[in-house]
């Protein structure tokens, strides 16, 4: 097996890796070109069905439970990424765009409590290099980004409610026309999604508090503060109150193969990195190929 370590922003060292790349915290396409070259060397010709052929096929096995990659390279390739969720997402994005998701991927998270770490586990360097592969869905958006741990859809104004509709497969997760003034503490602030370890691929839940908040933490719940704010004199009584940012409604979780959103001034944040500009529509969906992930379930 060929082992390569992508050490992003000074992440955990992997002493057993014969090849190590010292990379920025979020590596660019140019930074990751050695991965492209190595993948091409180990699989100079891919005689398995192409993405176009898979998409045209009437059968959809690629949308069932995640599968092991059918490619047979000259030598197995395992890429170990150390760093943040955004670093892992950048490597997975490069692999997807280069169409070599047949390569194995392990993650050494800088933060063991991050969304991707919760999905992938927090292995030791030895486990990252030696543990077996567990295929998992590859979730991407229509901007060509892979979600390693989580993504959110919110208003470009971090204190304002979401305006638009968010649908998972055919079920509505969030809907707000924007005709009413925005809530402050509790309302429809967008949605958070995470990849699922097995089919269908996406789990999403509404955001009920803003992603950015201020004020002192209150003993009252966000819902109680919102009701109080609507009473006479309530704006003055709640003027210095604060709520935890980015709370979700765990009682409303939808799963599916795709999430679609349309509306006004939508901000997409993938693995903690927000797009520079707002969009009017966005889609997250399961890619045609699965990730050959190395996951640790303790």
For residues 78 and 178, membership in a common domain is answered with: no
Q: How many domains does the chain have?
A: 2
- Answer whether residue 144 is part of any domain: no
Q: Determine the Cα–Cα distance for residues 161 and 178; give it in Å rounded to an integer.
A: 8
Residue 117 belongs to domain spanning: 2-138+289-294
Residues 6+ apart with CB under 8 A from 208: 186, 187, 188, 189, 222, 247, 248, 249
pLDDT at 191: 98
- Answer whether residue 220 is part of any domain: yes
According to DSSP, the β-strands at 273-274 and 254-256 are unpaired
- Answer whether residue 253 is part of any domain: yes
pLDDT at 15: 62
For residues 76 and 183, membership in a common domain is answered with: no
Compute φ and ψ for 114, nearest 5 degrees.
-70, 160
pTM surpassing 0.85? yes
Match 């709640």 to its residue by tokens. Answer: 238
- Answer whether residue 280 is part of any domain: no
For residues 131 and 188, membership in a common domain is answered with: no
pLDDT at 296: 87
For residues 124 and 6, membership in a common domain is answered with: yes
Q: Determine the Cα–Cα distance for residues 120 and 107; give it in Å rounded to an integer.
A: 7
Tokens describing residue 12 = 């955990």
Q: Determine the Cα–Cα distance for residues 284 and 125; give it in Å rounded to an integer.
A: 31
Tokens describing residue 4 = 């390569």
For residues 21 and 56, membership in a common domain is answered with: yes
For residues 159 and 74, membership in a common domain is answered with: no
- Answer whether residue 277 is part of any domain: no
- Answer whether residue 225 is part of any domain: yes
Q: Determine the Cα–Cα distance for residues 245 and 251; give it in Å rounded to an integer.
A: 18
pLDDT at 284: 98
Closest CA to 148 of 259, 293, 298, 268: 293
Tokens describing residue 218 = 């209150």
pLDDT at 213: 87
Specify burial of residue 70 (Cβ count, 10 A radius: 0-12, 13-18, 19+): exposed
Taking a C-beta distance cutoff of 8 angstroms, is the pair 133, 290 a contact?
no
For residues 113 and 160, membership in a common domain is answered with: no
- Answer whether residue 282 is part of any domain: no
For residues 184 and 101, membership in a common domain is answered with: no
- Return the biggest CA–CA distance within the chain: 73
For residues 121 and 234, membership in a common domain is answered with: no
- Answer whether residue 35 is part of any domain: yes
pLDDT at 64: 87
Per-residue pLDDT of the chain (298 residues; tens, 9 = 90+): 999 999 999 766 666 667 889 999 999 999 999 999 999 999 999 999 999 988 887 766 657 899 999 999 999 999 999 999 999 999 999 999 999 999 999 999 999 999 999 999 999 999 999 999 999 999 999 999 999 999 999 999 999 999 999 999 999 999 999 999 999 999 999 999 999 999 999 999 999 999 988 888 888 999 999 998 999 988 888 888 889 999 999 999 999 999 999 999 999 999 999 999 999 999 999 999 999 999 987 6
């Amino acid at each position: 097996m060929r082992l390569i370590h992508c050490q992003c922003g000074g992440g955990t060292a992997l002493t057993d890796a014969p090849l190590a790349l010292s990379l920025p915290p979020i590596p660019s396409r140019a930074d990751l070109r050695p991965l492209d070259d190595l993948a091409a060397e180990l699989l100079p010709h891919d005689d398995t069905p192409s993405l176009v052929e898979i998409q045209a096929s009437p059968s959809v096995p690629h949308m069932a439970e995640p599968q092991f990659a059918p490619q047979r390279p000259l030598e197995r390739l395992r890429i170990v990424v150390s760093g943040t969720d955004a670093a892992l997402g950048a490597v997975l994005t490069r692999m997807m765009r280069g169409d070599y998701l047949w390569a194995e991927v392990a993650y050494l998270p800088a933060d063991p409590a991050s969304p991707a770490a919760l999905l992938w586990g927090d292995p030791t360097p030895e486990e990252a290099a030696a543990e077996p592969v567990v295929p998992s869905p590859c979730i991407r958006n229509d901007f060509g980004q892979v979600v390693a741990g989580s993504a959110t859809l919110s208003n470009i104004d971090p204190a304002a409610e979401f305006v638009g509709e968010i649908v998972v497969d055919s079920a509505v997760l969030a809907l707000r026309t924007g005709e009413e003034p925005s809530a402050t503490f509790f309302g429809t602030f967008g949605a958070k999604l995470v990849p699922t370890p097995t089919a269908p691929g996406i789990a999403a839940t509404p955001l009920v508090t803003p992603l950015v908040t201020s004020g002192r933490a209150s003993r009252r719940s966000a819902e109680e503060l919102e009701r109080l704010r609507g009473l006479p004199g309530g704006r003055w009584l709640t003027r210095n109150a604060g709520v935890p940012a980015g709370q979700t409604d765990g009682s409303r979780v939808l799963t599916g193969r795709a999430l679609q959103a349309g509306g006004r001034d939508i901000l997409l944040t993938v693995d903690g990195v927000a797009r520079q500009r707002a969009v009017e529509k966005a889609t997250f969906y399961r890619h045609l190929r699965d990730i050959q992930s190395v996951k640790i379930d303790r």
